[in-house]
Amino acid sequence: MGMRIAGSLVVVTGAANGIGRGLVRAAVTAGARAVGLIDIDAGGMDEVSRELGDVPVLSCVADASDEDGMRDALGRVEAGLGPIDVFCANVGVAVSGDLETDDALWLKSWDLNLMSIVRAARVVVPAMRERGRGGLIITSSAAGLLGYLDGLPYGVTKTAAVALAEHLRIREARHGIQVSCLCPAGVRTAMTAHLPEDSLVWATGSPLDAEEFGRFALAEFERGEFLVVAQEKVRELDRLRLRSREEWFTAMRALGRIA
Protein backbone atom coordinates (compact mmCIF):
# COMPACT_ATOMS: atom_id res chain seq x y z
CA MET A 1 0.00 0.00 0.00
CA GLY A 2 1.35 3.42 -0.93
CA MET A 3 0.71 7.01 0.11
CA ARG A 4 -2.81 8.42 0.09
CA ILE A 5 -3.71 11.36 -2.12
CA ALA A 6 -6.65 12.20 0.12
CA GLY A 7 -5.65 14.99 2.51
CA SER A 8 -2.40 15.73 0.61
CA LEU A 9 -1.06 18.87 -1.02
CA VAL A 10 -0.23 17.78 -4.58
CA VAL A 11 1.94 19.97 -6.84
CA VAL A 12 2.16 19.35 -10.59
CA THR A 13 4.47 20.88 -13.22
CA GLY A 14 3.12 21.23 -16.74
CA ALA A 15 -0.26 21.46 -15.02
CA ALA A 16 -2.04 23.66 -17.55
CA ASN A 17 -2.61 21.02 -20.22
CA GLY A 18 -2.48 17.36 -21.14
CA ILE A 19 -1.26 14.80 -18.63
CA GLY A 20 -0.44 17.45 -16.01
CA ARG A 21 -3.99 18.73 -16.14
CA GLY A 22 -5.21 15.11 -15.92
CA LEU A 23 -3.07 14.57 -12.79
CA VAL A 24 -4.41 17.75 -11.15
CA ARG A 25 -8.02 16.79 -11.81
CA ALA A 26 -7.39 13.21 -10.62
CA ALA A 27 -5.75 14.52 -7.42
CA VAL A 28 -8.80 16.63 -6.62
CA THR A 29 -11.14 13.73 -7.37
CA ALA A 30 -9.04 11.54 -5.04
CA GLY A 31 -9.49 14.05 -2.20
CA ALA A 32 -6.32 16.17 -2.27
CA ARG A 33 -6.64 18.91 0.36
CA ALA A 34 -5.04 21.46 -2.03
CA VAL A 35 -3.21 21.61 -5.35
CA GLY A 36 -0.29 23.69 -6.65
CA LEU A 37 -0.04 24.26 -10.40
CA ILE A 38 3.23 25.20 -12.11
CA ASP A 39 3.43 25.98 -15.82
CA ILE A 40 4.53 28.63 -18.30
CA ASP A 41 0.93 28.90 -19.57
CA ALA A 42 -0.88 31.26 -17.17
CA GLY A 43 -4.17 31.18 -19.14
CA GLY A 44 -4.21 27.38 -19.15
CA MET A 45 -3.69 27.30 -15.37
CA ASP A 46 -6.57 29.76 -14.92
CA GLU A 47 -8.82 27.42 -16.90
CA VAL A 48 -7.76 24.40 -14.84
CA SER A 49 -8.31 26.32 -11.57
CA ARG A 50 -11.84 27.21 -12.64
CA GLU A 51 -12.60 23.52 -13.24
CA LEU A 52 -11.62 22.47 -9.72
CA GLY A 53 -14.45 23.75 -7.55
CA ASP A 54 -13.77 24.65 -3.94
CA VAL A 55 -10.41 23.02 -3.36
CA PRO A 56 -7.62 25.54 -2.55
CA VAL A 57 -5.42 26.10 -5.64
CA LEU A 58 -2.26 28.14 -6.10
CA SER A 59 -0.90 28.68 -9.62
CA CYS A 60 2.65 29.80 -10.34
CA VAL A 61 4.07 30.75 -13.69
CA ALA A 62 7.54 29.22 -13.78
CA ASP A 63 9.83 27.54 -16.27
CA ALA A 64 10.68 24.02 -15.10
CA SER A 65 14.16 24.35 -16.57
CA ASP A 66 15.02 27.31 -14.31
CA GLU A 67 16.08 26.13 -10.83
CA ASP A 68 15.82 29.56 -9.17
CA GLY A 69 12.39 30.17 -10.70
CA MET A 70 11.23 26.72 -9.55
CA ARG A 71 12.64 27.28 -6.04
CA ASP A 72 10.71 30.54 -5.88
CA ALA A 73 7.48 28.94 -7.21
CA LEU A 74 7.69 26.00 -4.80
CA GLY A 75 8.40 28.42 -1.93
CA ARG A 76 5.27 30.37 -2.84
CA VAL A 77 3.20 27.18 -2.93
CA GLU A 78 4.48 26.15 0.52
CA ALA A 79 3.94 29.64 1.96
CA GLY A 80 0.36 29.65 0.65
CA LEU A 81 -0.73 26.05 1.12
CA GLY A 82 1.74 24.36 3.49
CA PRO A 83 4.20 21.48 3.06
CA ILE A 84 4.21 19.69 -0.29
CA ASP A 85 3.16 16.06 0.20
CA VAL A 86 3.28 14.85 -3.40
CA PHE A 87 5.30 16.46 -6.18
CA CYS A 88 4.63 15.50 -9.81
CA ALA A 89 7.59 16.34 -12.09
CA ASN A 90 5.63 16.13 -15.30
CA VAL A 91 7.11 18.63 -17.77
CA GLY A 92 8.89 17.18 -20.78
CA VAL A 93 9.66 17.96 -24.38
CA ALA A 94 9.28 15.67 -27.40
CA VAL A 95 12.20 16.02 -29.79
CA SER A 96 12.25 13.70 -32.76
CA GLY A 97 15.44 13.07 -34.68
CA ASP A 98 18.54 11.00 -34.85
CA LEU A 99 22.29 11.08 -34.30
CA GLU A 100 22.47 14.04 -36.68
CA THR A 101 20.00 16.11 -34.67
CA ASP A 102 21.47 19.41 -33.60
CA ASP A 103 23.25 19.59 -30.21
CA ALA A 104 20.90 22.36 -29.12
CA LEU A 105 17.90 19.99 -29.40
CA TRP A 106 19.75 17.19 -27.58
CA LEU A 107 20.60 19.62 -24.79
CA LYS A 108 17.04 20.95 -24.62
CA SER A 109 15.79 17.35 -24.26
CA TRP A 110 18.36 16.66 -21.54
CA ASP A 111 17.48 19.88 -19.76
CA LEU A 112 13.71 19.38 -19.68
CA ASN A 113 13.37 15.60 -19.61
CA LEU A 114 16.03 14.97 -16.97
CA MET A 115 17.59 18.05 -15.36
CA SER A 116 14.29 19.79 -14.63
CA ILE A 117 13.41 16.77 -12.45
CA VAL A 118 16.82 16.79 -10.74
CA ARG A 119 16.52 20.52 -10.02
CA ALA A 120 12.99 20.28 -8.61
CA ALA A 121 13.92 17.21 -6.53
CA ARG A 122 16.79 19.20 -4.99
CA VAL A 123 14.17 21.62 -3.71
CA VAL A 124 11.38 19.28 -2.56
CA VAL A 125 13.19 16.13 -1.38
CA PRO A 126 15.16 17.62 1.58
CA ALA A 127 11.94 18.91 3.19
CA MET A 128 10.25 15.53 2.64
CA ARG A 129 13.24 13.78 4.24
CA GLU A 130 12.94 16.04 7.27
CA ARG A 131 9.26 15.23 7.64
CA GLY A 132 9.94 11.51 6.99
CA ARG A 133 7.18 11.45 4.39
CA GLY A 134 6.54 12.42 0.79
CA GLY A 135 5.72 11.31 -2.73
CA LEU A 136 7.55 11.99 -5.97
CA ILE A 137 5.82 11.15 -9.24
CA ILE A 138 8.08 11.43 -12.29
CA THR A 139 6.55 11.47 -15.76
CA SER A 140 8.88 9.57 -18.06
CA SER A 141 7.26 7.69 -20.96
CA ALA A 142 7.01 4.25 -22.55
CA ALA A 143 9.99 5.68 -24.45
CA GLY A 144 11.90 5.59 -21.15
CA LEU A 145 11.51 1.79 -21.10
CA LEU A 146 11.60 0.98 -24.80
CA GLY A 147 13.41 3.93 -26.37
CA TYR A 148 11.79 5.90 -29.15
CA LEU A 149 13.05 4.90 -32.55
CA ASP A 150 11.68 8.04 -34.24
CA GLY A 151 13.28 10.34 -31.69
CA LEU A 152 16.64 9.46 -30.20
CA PRO A 153 16.89 12.61 -28.02
CA TYR A 154 13.46 11.85 -26.53
CA GLY A 155 14.03 8.11 -26.00
CA VAL A 156 17.47 8.52 -24.48
CA THR A 157 16.56 11.34 -22.09
CA LYS A 158 13.31 9.65 -21.02
CA THR A 159 15.39 6.52 -20.28
CA ALA A 160 17.55 8.72 -18.05
CA ALA A 161 14.40 9.88 -16.25
CA VAL A 162 13.49 6.24 -15.50
CA ALA A 163 17.03 5.68 -14.19
CA LEU A 164 16.74 8.75 -11.96
CA ALA A 165 13.38 7.55 -10.63
CA GLU A 166 14.88 4.11 -9.89
CA HIS A 167 17.82 5.60 -8.01
CA LEU A 168 15.53 7.83 -5.97
CA ARG A 169 13.12 4.95 -5.26
CA ILE A 170 16.03 2.88 -3.92
CA ARG A 171 17.65 5.68 -1.93
CA GLU A 172 14.74 7.65 -0.51
CA ALA A 173 12.47 4.85 0.79
CA ARG A 174 14.41 4.95 4.08
CA HIS A 175 13.23 8.56 4.49
CA GLY A 176 9.59 7.63 3.91
CA ILE A 177 9.58 9.00 0.35
CA GLN A 178 7.67 7.02 -2.25
CA VAL A 179 8.79 7.41 -5.87
CA SER A 180 6.67 6.35 -8.86
CA CYS A 181 7.51 6.66 -12.55
CA LEU A 182 4.83 7.18 -15.19
CA CYS A 183 5.55 5.39 -18.47
CA PRO A 184 2.56 5.90 -20.76
CA ALA A 185 2.67 5.24 -24.49
CA GLY A 186 0.33 7.47 -26.50
CA VAL A 187 -1.90 9.87 -24.57
CA ARG A 188 -4.11 12.29 -26.52
CA THR A 189 -2.59 15.72 -25.78
CA ALA A 190 -1.15 18.67 -27.71
CA MET A 191 2.17 16.81 -27.76
CA THR A 192 0.71 13.98 -29.85
CA ALA A 193 -2.05 15.84 -31.71
CA HIS A 194 0.01 16.30 -34.89
CA LEU A 195 1.25 12.69 -35.11
CA PRO A 196 0.17 10.62 -38.14
CA GLU A 197 -1.90 7.45 -37.73
CA ASP A 198 1.13 5.27 -38.48
CA SER A 199 3.35 6.93 -35.85
CA LEU A 200 5.30 4.54 -33.62
CA VAL A 201 3.69 6.28 -30.62
CA TRP A 202 0.43 4.49 -31.40
CA ALA A 203 2.14 1.14 -32.11
CA THR A 204 2.41 0.20 -28.43
CA GLY A 205 -1.25 0.44 -27.49
CA SER A 206 -4.44 2.39 -27.94
CA PRO A 207 -4.19 6.09 -27.13
CA LEU A 208 -5.39 7.12 -23.71
CA ASP A 209 -7.32 10.14 -22.60
CA ALA A 210 -5.24 12.42 -20.30
CA GLU A 211 -7.83 12.41 -17.52
CA GLU A 212 -8.23 8.66 -17.67
CA PHE A 213 -4.44 8.30 -17.48
CA GLY A 214 -4.23 10.78 -14.58
CA ARG A 215 -6.74 8.74 -12.56
CA PHE A 216 -4.95 5.49 -13.40
CA ALA A 217 -1.56 6.97 -12.46
CA LEU A 218 -2.65 8.22 -9.04
CA ALA A 219 -4.45 4.95 -8.27
CA GLU A 220 -1.24 3.04 -9.08
CA PHE A 221 0.78 5.50 -6.94
CA GLU A 222 -1.63 4.90 -4.05
CA ARG A 223 -1.07 1.15 -4.49
CA GLY A 224 2.66 1.79 -4.05
CA GLU A 225 3.55 0.79 -7.63
CA PHE A 226 6.86 2.07 -8.99
CA LEU A 227 6.31 1.71 -12.74
CA VAL A 228 3.00 3.03 -13.96
CA VAL A 229 2.39 1.39 -17.33
CA ALA A 230 -1.09 1.60 -18.78
CA GLN A 231 -0.68 -0.31 -22.03
CA GLU A 232 -0.19 -4.10 -22.07
CA LYS A 233 2.10 -4.09 -25.13
CA VAL A 234 4.54 -1.79 -23.27
CA ARG A 235 4.50 -4.13 -20.26
CA GLU A 236 5.18 -7.15 -22.51
CA LEU A 237 8.09 -5.48 -24.32
CA ASP A 238 9.59 -4.27 -21.04
CA ARG A 239 9.45 -7.82 -19.64
CA LEU A 240 11.08 -9.12 -22.83
CA ARG A 241 13.88 -6.54 -22.51
CA LEU A 242 14.65 -7.79 -19.00
CA ARG A 243 14.51 -11.43 -20.09
CA SER A 244 16.51 -11.32 -23.32
CA ARG A 245 18.12 -8.21 -24.81
CA GLU A 246 18.65 -9.90 -28.22
CA GLU A 247 15.01 -10.95 -28.50
CA TRP A 248 14.00 -7.48 -27.44
CA PHE A 249 16.23 -5.86 -30.09
CA THR A 250 14.56 -8.08 -32.71
CA ALA A 251 11.07 -7.20 -31.45
CA MET A 252 11.88 -3.49 -31.42
CA ARG A 253 13.28 -3.63 -34.98
CA ALA A 254 10.04 -5.28 -36.09
CA LEU A 255 7.97 -2.65 -34.28
CA GLY A 256 10.01 0.18 -35.87
CA ARG A 257 9.96 -1.51 -39.31
CA ILE A 258 13.75 -1.45 -39.28
CA ALA A 259 14.90 -4.11 -41.77
Ligand X SMILES: NC(=O)c1ccc[n+]([C@@H]2O[C@H](COP(=O)([O-])OP(=O)(O)OC[C@H]3O[C@@H](n4cnc5c(N)ncnc54)[C@H](O)[C@@H]3O)[C@@H](O)[C@H]2O)c1
Binding region for ligand X (CB under 6 A): 13-14, 16-20, 39-41, 44, 63-65, 90-92, 94, 112, 139, 141, 184, 186-187, 189-192
Which of 111/166 has CB closer to ligand X?
111
Distance of CA 189 to the CA centre of its chain: 14
Q: How many CB atoms lie within 10 A of CB 82?
A: 12
CB 46 within 8 A of CB 121: no
Coil, strand or helix: which one is 3?
coil
Query: Which residues, 6+ apart, have CB-to-CB distance to 196 below 8 Å?
Result: none
Cα–Cα dist 2/226, whole Å = 10
Kind and range of the H or E run holding 235: helix 232-243
Query: Which residues, 6+ apart, have CB-to-CB distance to 47 below 8 Å?
Result: 16
Which of 28/162 has CB closer to ligand X?
162
Closest contact distance (angstroms) between CB of 251 and ligand X is 20
Closest contact distance (angstroms) between CB of 138 and ligand X is 9
Closest contact distance (angstroms) between CB of 244 and ligand X is 25
Which of 154/177 has CB closer to ligand X?
154
Closest contact distance (angstroms) between CB of 136 and ligand X is 14
Closest contact distance (angstroms) between CB of 68 and ligand X is 13
Which of 3/91 has CB closer to ligand X?
91
Which of 135/186 has CB closer to ligand X?
186
The identity of residue 192, as a single letter, is T
